[in-house]
Structure 1
Amino acid sequence: MYDANLGENDAGWGGTLGRIAHRLAGPDDFDPLLDRIGDARIVQLGEASHGTYDYYRLREQLTRRLVAEHGFSFVAVEGDWPDCDRVHRSVTGAPGADPDPQTALERFERWPTWMWANAEVARFCRWLRAWNLERSPEQRVGFHGLDVYSLWESIHAILDHLGEDDPPARRAAQEAYRCFEPFNGDPQVYAMVDDECQGEVVRMLTQLRNRATRDGADRFSAWQNAEVVAGAERYYRAMVQGGPQSWNVRDTHMADTLDRLLDFYGTGAKAVVWAHNTHVGDARATSMTRAGLVNIGELARDRYGPDDVVLVGFGGYRGEVLAGSEWGAPAQVMELPPARPGSLEDRLHTVLPERALLVFPRDDRPAWLGAEFEHRAVGVVYDPEVERWGNYVPTRLGDRYDAFVWCDQSTPLHPLPARSVPGELETYPAGV
């Protein structure tokens, strides 16, 4: 345990870190957090940026322990279902799947590919495959995507799956495809016209839902692709209208996907979620709620209760980060300047070691855990100059998360060679 005083003269903080802060030098140092997790069904692990090696590495180390020691059933990430399904098939040793998960990761095309097509995720997925192949198929741990973007990719995956063995379902999928086909795979074009494909999508969903609940993993995946098509249709229409609704469509879709996965894996299933802090941390403890935004952390706590959900945020003070200068731009290593004076990160920098784990008590908390401070959030699009006025979310740390992982100095991700295409409209808020 790390004993440090936050400063008697630092208004609003008070108290000490002695009972909640722990040095974090290796995987064994996650023991206090594992004790806090206990029998929880859902553990959501965040990141303050999509381009930081340290967050991915520490998240990987913790997830290995959750799988090996606590029996977690699958990892669900802020990624597209079809791309992640290829990784899932690889790590679970499915017939015909890539024998090396890195090969599946290198097939990611939607920008920003480096979020998942990176050396850190490849290392975890290779470990997960080795772990799984020592176990029976029903004991193997999955890897799934929660996100909503893959409208056309999901339709193609449905058609590939159906073949000729279910004429009603295939006919419904073909009707949906024909409805979207005139827009040439461009969701922005589709979203800005008056014609809608909602009826065709509902018919396809009905057909595939009826099959999926009784027919195993492949048909569950087809059903999930149909749910993605429905969610993406709503998302892109909301996106072109502007405002927060597209964010809420997206995070509600991710929360619903998590629910479906827990149901599919069965009684006692447990999930690890990897996503940005803005999705993982409870939105009600931030300025997001004043903007009318919800997220998967908030929705999970509402649906499963606080005892079954543990939310873990990540943050740091300075270093380097991998990001694009604009939407669709090539990834580059950028300076991450020292955190803004007075921010959460600035204050933690003065009292914590290079690596630390904060586990928040349920009761008798230091007052500063309930005070609001600016908390840095870096998206896939980043400009260090914006640090003067943007990239921070007002946050009550102890209400937003159950624990917090601290990396004072951070380094960039190591992207894999992957072919990148610009993809959809920029997310709201930008890049997270």
Structure 2
Amino acid sequence: MSYSPPLIRLLAGALLLGSTLLCGCNRTTLYNLDFEDTDYRDHPSQWSLPDSVYYGYAAASDRNCRKHGGYSLRLEQVDTTKYTWARFSQELPDTLVAGHEIELSGWVRTEEVTEGFADLFLILTETEDDDLLAADTAGRGLRGTTEWQRMVLRQQIPDSASGVRFGGLLKGGGRAWFDRFEIRIDGRKLRDPRIPVPKSRLTRCEKAELRRYIHPLSGCDATDADSVDLRSFDTLIGHSQVVALGENSHGASEIFRMKERLIRHLATQQGFDQVVFEADMAAGIPLDNYLRNGQGTAIAALFGLEMWIWDTHEVLSLIEWMRQRNVDGHPIHFRGIDMQSANQAVKLLRQEAGKDATTRQLLDEIAPKLDSVLSYDRRNRARIDSLTASEIERNLNRIESRIDRSATDARSCTLQRQLVTLIRQYLGLDEGIYWRDRCMAENLLWIRQQNPDSRMVIWGHNGHVSRAENRMGRHLEEALGADYLNVGFTFHAGRCSIIVPGSEELQHDVQTAPPGTIEYLLHQLDEPFFVLDLRRLREEQSPALEWINGMKFRHIGALRWEDEFWDEGLADQFDLLIYIDRVTPSQLLF
């Protein structure tokens, strides 16, 4: 069969176009500085974007207004009742920028920008003063309505810098467009190389490779704690003394029930006798008293934690089981490790002080000051009033000096000192977003010091138990080494008990895992429940590591975000991962 030259040219053109589109679908750029690559939400990939529900600013790709190529990034205020400014950003590591002059340039256009400006920014990664970043100084940025203008920033980066964060910001109302960013390091243009897009389909070989590392589970029925399928879990945890069970949502029933199932198994088969919750440490003491002596009711003890996410039938089931285990002569304790409140610590200190009138008076002076010392700004950051905190600290020093004379025994002395520590930790809540992780790690290590022969299981969020930098899990690994093992949890789709701004309901759909996420791929294994042995993947340097650590995975808590899939580095953060295909909301008690 022969073809005419025009038809040959047409076919060749179609093949070339198809090849180009195919390559474009399988490749993206490392930094996406020209905003041409988009993610599953049609938003610019590689960039950290503001959540519109939370911040009141929306960022998206825009093909209708652009300086170059097919897309720009549009940033606009959509809710004037929320924050007064927002930014989009990404980071460059110290290995690229430390000790060098960095130049950031880009094109910006504005429309009806009022009470503020649009601008580029370039700051050190360790800079935490966001208010300074958005300072409305004279002549800064573009205002009102403007055509495209090229803007340039330069900064000499110190040798000690841990990296830089760069991007664009909009303060005030209106909208701004950003396009064709460029980075120069000591005058040399930073390449933005093309890289493969995240994997969206597993081949048969890749499925077979993953199956070498998975251990199917029969389900999440908490009463099935001695099933044969959990014997592999015993092998996986080995001789670890502290096993941390994470969760990527604070409101998924199947995750809660799976954790109860594992805790029952670890207690009855492996001798774990300390259940440690991401809950107020002082508030956990009355709950532990209930477990030991049965005074009051399980539900009253649970509500005493004052954390709505734990006020569920699933957690109540665990508490009731722990109480019965104590009744049956097998001691098991409940502990909290958090420090976001000081009221219960003051109450317990007053009880332990007994007849020490001076200590009780000092505590009476502290109590109202603790109610006023902490506030939160519009960006939900903790703010501690330094003058009030100093007054509280003076009283704490005096209380601490009297502990030896007021304590009735060594136990009381040790407890009072820890309660004072909890109040001091509370006064440090403005130290940054990782202060809680550091304090919770210290509090768990204190519990371990008091119970050196115990094995502990932690119930907390994935983010806290992970080995990511500055997280509680990282601190515990540094202190405990191989005695610490962590288990992440994730799921493919479903509904959760979760706060959605603007809604009074507490049970909502969450995003079904899209292409480009680890959950989307794990769903293709057609296993509803399983454990993935990430530690052995690392030890054997499985080829699957090449794509697992580059995949996004779900990270939400008590609040639903616009983009639920932003975390990455799964295999480095956890030893094991428990996958559940579909979840339903935790069953609230209120």
* TM-score > 0.5, shorter chain as reference: yes
Task: Tell me if 1:262 matches 2:435.
Answer: no
Q: Identify the residue that residue 510 of structure 2 maps to in structure 1.
A: 336
Contact 1:209-1:223 within 8 A present in 2 as well: no
492, 498, 517: which is aligned to 1:317?
492
Identity %: 22
Task: Tell me if 1:308 matches 2:501.
Answer: no
Contact 1:159-1:174 within 8 A present in 2 as well: no
Q: Identify the residue that residue 345 of structure 2 maps to in structure 1.
A: 154
CA distance in 1, matches of 2:340, 2:360: 18
Q: Identify the residue that residue 434 of structure 2 maps to in structure 1.
A: 248
Contact 1:73-1:265 within 8 A present in 2 as well: no
Q: CA deviation at 1:106?
A: 2.9
Q: CA deviation at 1:130?
A: 0.8
Sort the Cα spacing of 1:219 and 1:92 in 2 relative to 1 into closer, same or farther, 3 A: farther
Tell me which protein shows more helix as a share of its residues.
Answer: 1
355, 359, 364: which is aligned to 2:529?
355
The alignment partner of 2:492 has SS state of: strand
Q: CA deviation at 1:179?
A: 4.0
255, 262, 266: which is aligned to 1:62?
262
Deviations 1:111-164 (A, max 9, x none): xx33221111111111111111122xxx61110111011212321221133221
Alignment of 1:177-216 (within 5 A): 177-179=364-366, 181-182=368-369, 184=371, 187-188=374-375, 191-192=384-385, 194-195=387-388, 196=390, 197-205=392-400, 207-208=402-403, 215-216=410-411
CA distance in 2, matches of 1:343, 1:355: 18
Q: Identify the residue that residue 298 of structure 2 maps to in structure 1.
A: 101
CA distance in 1, matches of 2:405, 2:522: 52
CA distance in 2, matches of 1:158, 1:356: 45
Normalising by structure 1, what TM-score? Answer: 0.78
Task: Tell me if 1:223 matches 2:417.
Answer: yes
Deviations 1:259-292 (A, max 9, x none): 11111123x2211100000001111xxxxx4xxx
Q: Identify the residue that residue 551 of structure 2 maps to in structure 1.
A: 373
120, 124, 134: which is aligned to 2:318?
124
Normalising by structure 2, what TM-score? Answer: 0.58
Contact 2:476-2:484 within 8 A present in 1 as well: yes
Q: In structure 2, give the amino acid aligned to 1:55.
A: I
CA distance in 2, matches of 1:84, 1:230: 18
Q: In structure 1, give the amino acid aligned to 2:215.
A: H
The alignment partner of 1:407 has SS state of: strand
74, 81, 87: which is aligned to 2:274?
74
CA distance in 2, matches of 1:213, 1:353: 56
Q: Which deviates further from its counterpart, 182-191 or 72-81?
A: 182-191
Q: Identify the residue that residue 114 of structure 1 maps to in structure 2.
A: 308
Q: CA deviation at 1:219?
A: 5.2
Q: Identify the residue that residue 17 of structure 1 maps to in structure 2.
A: 210
Contact 2:353-2:406 within 8 A present in 1 as well: no
Which has the higher Rg, Structure 1 or Structure 2? Answer: 2
CA distance in 1, matches of 2:402, 2:568: 44
Sort the Cα spacing of 1:117 and 1:185 in 2 relative to 1 into closer, same or farther, 3 A: farther
Contact 2:279-2:305 within 8 A present in 1 as well: no
The alignment partner of 2:578 has SS state of: strand
459, 472, 476: which is aligned to 1:274?
459
CA distance in 2, matches of 1:180, 1:228: 14
Q: Identify the residue that residue 233 of structure 2 maps to in structure 1.
A: 33
CA distance in 2, matches of 1:18, 1:347: 12
Q: Which deviates further from its counterpart, 270-279 or 147-156?
A: 147-156
321, 340, 354: which is aligned to 1:163?
354
Deviations 1:348-388 (A, max 9, x none): 112241111112316214233363221111121214xx0xx
Q: Which structure is higher in RCO with an 8 Å CA cutoff and minimum separation 6?
A: 1
Sort the Cα spacing of 1:269 and 1:332 in 2 relative to 1 into closer, same or farther, 3 A: same
Sort the Cα spacing of 1:207 and 1:51 in 2 relative to 1 into closer, same or farther, 3 A: farther
Sort the Cα spacing of 1:253 and 1:171 in 2 relative to 1 into closer, same or farther, 3 A: farther
Task: Tell me if 1:416 matches 2:589.
Answer: yes
Contact 1:72-1:270 within 8 A present in 2 as well: yes
CA distance in 2, matches of 1:87, 1:104: 5
Sort the Cα spacing of 1:62 and 1:182 in 2 relative to 1 into closer, same or farther, 3 A: closer
CA distance in 1, matches of 2:484, 2:424: 27
Q: In structure 2, give the amino acid aligned to 1:127.
A: W
Contact 1:369-1:396 within 8 A present in 2 as well: no
Contact 1:282-1:295 within 8 A present in 2 as well: yes
Q: CA deviation at 1:107?
A: 3.6
For the aligned residues, what is the CA RMSD? Answer: 2.7
Contact 2:322-2:332 within 8 A present in 1 as well: yes
Contact 1:372-1:394 within 8 A present in 2 as well: no
Tell me which protein shows more strand as a share of its residues.
Answer: 2
Q: Which deviates further from its counterpart, 183-192 or 332-341?
A: 183-192
The alignment partner of 1:316 has SS state of: strand
Give the gaps of 5 or more residues in structure 1: 1-5, 239-244, 284-288, 418-432
Q: In structure 1, give the amino acid aligned to 2:492.
A: Y
Sort the Cα spacing of 1:14 and 1:174 in 2 relative to 1 into closer, same or farther, 3 A: farther
CA distance in 1, matches of 2:385, 2:506: 32
202, 205, 209: which is aligned to 1:7?
202
The alignment partner of 1:272 has SS state of: strand
Q: Which deviates further from its counterpart, 391-400 or 254-263?
A: 391-400
465, 472, 477: which is aligned to 1:296?
472
The alignment partner of 1:414 has SS state of: coil
The alignment partner of 1:315 has SS state of: strand
Q: In structure 1, give the amino acid aligned to 2:231.
A: D
Deviations 1:87-121 (A, max 9, x none): 21111226xx22x3222113443xxx332211111
Q: CA deviation at 1:207?
A: 4.5
Q: CA deviation at 1:51?
A: 0.6
CA distance in 1, matches of 2:407, 2:462: 32
Alignment of 1:138-153 (within 5 A): 140-153=331-344
Q: CA deviation at 1:14?
A: 7.8
Q: In structure 1, give the amino acid aligned to 2:449.
A: D
Q: In structure 1, give the amino acid aligned to 2:554.
A: R
Q: CA deviation at 1:300?
A: 0.9
The alignment partner of 2:254 has SS state of: helix
Q: Identify the residue that residue 142 of structure 2 maps to in structure 1.
A: none
The alignment partner of 1:379 has SS state of: coil
Q: CA deviation at 1:221?
A: 4.2
Q: CA deviation at 1:224?
A: 3.1
